[in-house]
Amino acid sequence: MFLWEGVSEFVAVAESESFTAASKQLGISTAQVSRQISALENRLNTKLFYRTTRKVSLTEEGTIYYQHCRRLLDGLQEAERAISDRRDTPQGSLKLTAPVTYGEQYIMPLVVDFILQYPEVDVTMNLTNQTVDLVEGGYDLAIRLGKLSSSTMMAKRLASRTQFVCASPGYLEKFGVPHSLSELRHHNCLVGNYDHWRFQEAGKERSVRIDGTLRCASGHALRDAALKGLGLIQLPDYYIIDDLERGDLVTVLDTFREPEEGIWALYPHNRHLSPKVRLLVDFLAESLS
Per-residue pLDDT of the chain (289 residues; tens, 9 = 90+): 456 788 889 999 999 889 988 889 889 999 999 999 999 899 889 999 998 877 889 999 999 999 988 888 888 877 776 666 555 567 888 999 999 989 998 999 999 999 999 998 999 999 998 888 888 888 889 999 887 776 667 788 999 999 999 999 999 999 999 999 999 999 999 999 889 999 999 889 999 999 999 999 889 999 999 999 999 999 999 899 999 999 999 999 999 999 888 899 988 765 556 778 888 999 999 998 7
pLDDT of 4 reads 77
* Complete edge-to-edge strand list for the sheet that includes strand 250-252: 233-236, 163-167, 250-252
Per-residue model confidence (pLDDT) at position 221: 95
Contact 253, 166 (CB under 8 A): no
Residue type, 79: A
Of 190, 195, 194, 193, residue with least CA distance to 230: 190
Q: CA-CA distance, 135 to 15, in Å (whole number)?
A: 9
Give pLDDT, residue 203: 85
Query: Which residue type occupies 246?
Result: R
CA 39 vs CA 44, 60, 84, 259: distances in Å? 9, 19, 32, 53
3-state secondary structure of 289: coil
Which of 67, 76, 20, 10 is CA-nearest to residue 43? 10
pTM of the model: 0.61
Contacts with 204 (C-beta within 8 Å, 6 or more apart), sequence order: none
Given a contact cutoff of 8 angstroms between Cβ atoms, the answer to whether 10 and 46 are in contact is no
- pLDDT in the model for residue 136: 80
What pLDDT is stored for residue 1 in this prediction? 46
Is the four-CA dihedral 282, 286, 287, 289 of positive or negative sign?
positive
Q: How far is it, in rounded angstroms, from Cα 249 to Cα 247?
A: 5
Cα–Cα distance between 256 and 179 in angstroms, integer? 10
- The Cα–Cα gap between 177 and 61 comes to 63
Q: Which pLDDT score is estimated for 164?
A: 96
